[in-house]
Amino acid sequence: MYLNSFFIFSVLLSVLILLFRNKSVTKFIIITYGLIHLAFSIHSWTNLGKTDLGYFTYDHTALTFLTLLSVIVAAVIWHGLIYVAEDDARKYNIYHISLIALVTSISGAYLSNNLVALWIFAEATTLAVAGLIYHDRTVSSLEATWKYIFLSSVGVAIAFIGILFISMTMKGSGFVDLSFASISAASPNANPLYLKIAFLFIFVGFGTKMEIFPMHTVGIDANSVAPSPIGALISTGLVNMGFVTLFRVYGSLSDSVISAWMNRILIIVGLLSLLTAAGYMLKAKHLKRMLAYSTLENMGLVSIALGIGGRSHYAAILLLIMHSLIKSGLFLQMNQLYRALGTVKLDESGRYLKIFPAGAVVLIVGSICVMALPPSGLFYTELIIFRELVRGGNWFVIITSAFLLCCIIYAMTVRIMHVVFSPARSESTNITKEKISPWETLSQFLFFAVVIILCFYQPPYLKDVINQIVENLF
């Protein structure tokens, strides 16, 4: 019943924002919501293994990503309040109502133990995030919003077709629902052709949320025009929701005859994601788009890690946790960079170290972390992945992915160094600059510190939780 209370509180807080229409009241409500979400995440661990409302289960996978979401949401709320401080009451309230709807929908998707329930929450995230993408009311944000709604709706529709094929395989199996436990039990005796079609459709459909090839474009545009705090949430919480969907479906079908075939698909898609990310990052002229392509790169690595199996499954989960902290920190930094430089365009940016030293240090440290260079914790996860590739003799994957990662590191290094040290190549006449308090970088430094610590030391409890997630996969 705790989940029921959480959903009710989320709705009530949104209604209160509509009723009062006051920025001070809304600010109090959104902070209250952040505290409620954090309390709910912490308390949920006491219900580990239990089922709530029939369609939601407090398992290790759900609670790990739910807790991570609470941490990120706290930072998103703080920086979001700074971002919308000068907005009128209407925009201010719409922003925060949409934020509550998005976070609640993502939370419900994490906890869903049923494929249909998860699909419903995934569709709800599309509607919620659309209001956030369009927040600035520009032509580019309007275009990105309609593109996001259209492509995400197409993706969800494609995923629904995959769900229909899975339901066809369940006929005559003795199972009447589409819970992941029932799908897992029925899959060994299911029609392999139907299972392959179902997996492909679900993978492509929910790829819009995971921002992985071939449906990655919707996330690229959304991240580049949405408010930076929302970009932090889209590229972490929403991307993780797409992964959880794929992870649960993959685990449910892992005992079927298509297991090896799914692994090959995951590796191929992962390589194509790396190729796409490398190609576009080499010519990126927009810093937020560059970060969005970095998300595509990391999701490609996660896909490869799932496909090769073994210890890399552990690395995939740990990579997602650290990627969420790094990428949210970098997107939050983009808001400060825009306020300090008046732009996020590469050619118009420069001398960031001189203008805002604290922000420049955040940008350098965050870039080192996301590029998986020591002492970043991502270096540890990629080391595990490549070690498993060597053990499996996947030399083509090793050589190809290593080359593409080098291209990505080169592309990002050149751009970050230009922004931090070099003068701008061109000056915009309509730029308004602000002086930023160094204290605004505190959350980002904390996130990056955790990632660096995890490179050298992972607490036993964290290891146990991730190992339990991997064990529950099969």
pLDDT in 10s for each residue of the chain, 474 residues: 578 899 999 999 999 999 988 999 999 999 999 999 999 999 999 999 898 888 999 999 999 999 999 999 999 999 999 999 888 899 999 999 999 999 999 999 999 999 999 999 999 999 999 999 998 888 888 888 898 898 888 998 999 999 989 888 877 666 667 888 888 888 888 888 989 999 999 999 998 899 898 888 888 888 888 999 999 999 999 999 999 999 999 999 988 899 999 999 999 999 999 999 999 999 889 899 999 999 999 999 999 999 998 899 999 999 999 999 999 999 999 999 999 888 888 888 889 999 999 999 999 999 999 999 999 999 999 999 999 999 988 999 999 999 999 999 999 999 999 999 988 887 765 666 778 888 999 999 999 999 999 999 999 999 999 999 998 875
Nearest-angstrom CA–CA distance, 212 and 217: 9
Using left for φ > 0, alpha for ψ between -120 and 50, and beta otherwise, residue 372 falls in: left
Nearest-angstrom CA–CA distance, 391 and 383: 12
- pLDDT for position 49: 87
Q: Which two tokens stand for residue 76?
A: 């998103």
Q: How far is CA 383 from its chain centroid?
A: 22
Q: For residue 7, which amino acid is it?
A: F
Cβ(180)–Cβ(245) below 8 Å: no
Give me the residue spans of the domains in the chain.
265-474
- pLDDT for position 173: 61
- Which residues are CB-contacts of 306 (< 8 A; sequence separation ≥ 6)? 246, 247, 250, 263, 266, 312, 313, 316
Answer whether the bond into residue 357 is a cis peptide, omega within 30°: no
Q: For residue 47, which amino acid is it?
A: N
Q: How far is CA 306 from its chain centroid?
A: 17
* Alpha helices in 309-376, H assignment, sequence order: 312-341, 352-355, 357-370
Nearest-angstrom CA–CA distance, 161 and 158: 5
Burial of 96 (0-12, 13-18, 19+ CB in 10 A): buried
- pLDDT for position 105: 95
- pLDDT for position 176: 66
Closest alpha carbon to 339 in 227, 456, 180, 214: 227
Could you please report the per-residue DSSP string of 381-395? HHHHHHHHHHHHT-H
Answer whether the bond into residue 375 is a cis peptide, omega within 30°: yes
Cβ(30)–Cβ(16) below 8 Å: no
For residue 194, which phi and psi values (nearest 5 degrees)? -65, -40
- pLDDT for position 190: 82
- The conformation of residue 405, written as its DSSP 8-state character, comes to H
Torsion of CA 427, 433, 435, 440, to 10 degrees: -100
pTM over 0.85? The answer is yes
- pLDDT for position 428: 64
Residue that the structure tokens 């576009």 belong to: 280
Nearest-angstrom CA–CA distance, 96 and 407: 39
Burial of 1 (0-12, 13-18, 19+ CB in 10 A): exposed
